[in-house]
Amino acid sequence: MTNNKRDGFGSRFGALVALAGAAIGLGNLWRFPYLVGNNGGGAFIIIYLAFVILLLLPVMYAEFVIGRRSQSNVLGAIKKLAPKSVFISIGILSIAVTLTILSFYSVVGGWTIEYIVQSFSSDLFKQDNGALGATFSNFISAPVRPAVMHLVFLGLTALIVAGGIKDGIEKYTKFLTPMLFVIIVILLVRSITLPGAEEGLRFLFYPDFSKLKASSFLDALGQGFFSLSLGMGCIITYASYVNKRENIRKMSLTTVVADTLFAVLAGIAIMPAVFAFGVSPTSGPSLVFITLPQIFAQLPFGQMFSLLFFIVLFVAAITSSISMLEIVVAYICEEFKLSRKAAVLYSSLFVAITGLLCSLSEGAFSNFRLFDKNIFDLFDYASNNIMLPLGGLLVVLFVGWKLKRKDVLDEMTSGGTIPMNRAIFGSVMIILKFIAPLAISIVMLNGIGLIKIF
């Protein structure tokens, strides 16, 4: 089922850094450390790792199997593997959720560019926490500047994707993904050497099982699911560019390890500094755009560390946005037989418009609300709570119940060239058939409020 005319990754390392870059995103930096600290520290990490290895790794296997088996885009994959089946909705949903997420994600990516620029200004470091909060609110609610930054971020993403897989995505992620780890380690070393940093490390790693509750398990599963970019077609698309000889089990495990390692390193880089200066370890934009600049202002060479941090934030955002845009571009190229540059242009124009609506909903369009949410928050809620888990659910049902067992085994053993223990394979299939659908359904139903586990 190979297509010699398709572009693909030129090396194993290139594929790995692209996959890792796709998984590592903004949630690793501003949500994971907060969830760890507020849910029992080391106790939460144990639960998180258990979910990732025992449940989410098999889900990633499933997406790898679909992508590499079909050697096609997310919609074409199901057309090849199960033509005229209801599972064609996997491809349709993947395109829809990708466009939805990329619309607001590129807006936040624009914010990171703004704060890279701001890091060169000493004015940013002369403000207290209240003034920094006002600066951030005034910026995101302005009609022009955040919109311009959104377009700049999207334009950079489009330029990389337009270069293709080898000469675009692989070329740049080979540089960008390792850079993420280098800079976060520099920030980590500075953070843990601050007086009082041990409180931040305790917040992250001390296993306080008394803090665990039912919601902790859902938080761990949800964070792992979304952090690994499962359910949106990213892994399916990238896997379609992976050579048949490659061991997709090792590639999946390496991606999981890289994503989790970066999340932990980010926590060590952020939380000790937060506690050293006695500020609240809040989650979300308030942490990275308000709290951390306040800390940088009090550090020797604070402007330099601020610049490094927002570069990390930008790189984490753009490596993820590249993978999202590629999902849509691959679909347009293969289903409509258009050139890559045309596909990039059309998809980018669409996201440019929807992203502008998201940006303006923080200011000029803030009074326009659906389900009591502005456009930005509605896109965020719909994608994270409904579309992504639904996509993941359909994937595990497809591989677990629809795809032939021998075809799944063929992909997981690279055509029989890489041995796989029968008991392990059987366990993976049980997870995909029964356990993963149940767990994903619980996360989705809880996320939209139809059931309450806590």
pLDDT bracket for residue 3 (50, 70, 90): very low
d(CA 27, CA 46): 19
Residues pairing with 373 in the sheet:
370
pLDDT bracket for residue 454 (50, 70, 90): low
pLDDT bracket for residue 282 (50, 70, 90): confident
- % of residues, the chain, pLDDT over 90: 76
Model pLDDT, residue 37: 85
Indicate whether 452 pLDDT > 80: no
Residue 7 counted as domain residue: no
Residue 421 counted as domain residue: yes
Q: How many helices (H) and strands (E) does the chain have?
A: 23, 0
Lowest mean pLDDT segment, chosen from 31-40, 78-87, 275-284:
275-284
* Residues 119-130 as b or e (16 or more Cβ within 10 Å = b): beeeebbebebe
* Residues 280-290 as b or e (16 or more Cβ within 10 Å = b): ebebeebbbbb
User: What is the domain extent for residue 174?
Assistant: 12-447
CATH number at residue 364: 1.20.1740
Residue 453 counted as domain residue: no
Lowest mean pLDDT segment, chosen from 214-228, 345-359, 430-444:
214-228
Residue 4 counted as domain residue: no
Model pLDDT, residue 5: 67
Model pLDDT, residue 2: 39
Residue 325 counted as domain residue: yes
Indicate whether 1 pLDDT > 70: no
Model pLDDT, residue 64: 97
Structure tokens at 295: 């800390």
Condensed to tens digits (0 to 9), the pLDDT of residues 114-172 reads: 999 998 876 777 766 678 888 899 999 999 999 999 999 999 999 999 999 999 999 99
pLDDT bracket for residue 4 (50, 70, 90): very low
Residue 1 counted as domain residue: no
Could you tell me the sign of the dihedral formed by the alpha carbons of 386, 389, 392, 393, in that order? negative
Residue 172 counted as domain residue: yes
Model pLDDT, residue 129: 64
pTM of the model: 0.94
Q: How many domains is the chain built from?
A: 1
Mean pLDDT of 34-52: 91
Condensed to tens digits (0 to 9), the pLDDT of residues 382-413 reads: 999 999 999 999 999 999 999 999 999 999 99
pLDDT bracket for residue 453 (50, 70, 90): low
Nearest to 111 by CA among 288, 300, 334, 348: 288
**Of residues 38 and 250, more confidently modeled:** 250
Condensed to tens digits (0 to 9), the pLDDT of residues 309-359 reads: 999 999 999 999 999 999 999 999 999 999 999 999 999 999 999 999 999
Q: How many CB atoms lie within 10 A of CB 341?
A: 15
Residues 6+ apart with CB under 8 A from 195: 276
Cβ atoms 309, 292 nearer than 8 A: yes
Q: What are phi and psi of 392, to 5 degrees?
A: -65, -40
Model pLDDT, residue 438: 95
Cβ atoms 319, 173 nearer than 8 A: yes
Residue 231 counted as domain residue: yes
pLDDT bracket for residue 296 (50, 70, 90): confident
Mean pLDDT of 192-213: 91
Cβ atoms 392, 227 nearer than 8 A: no
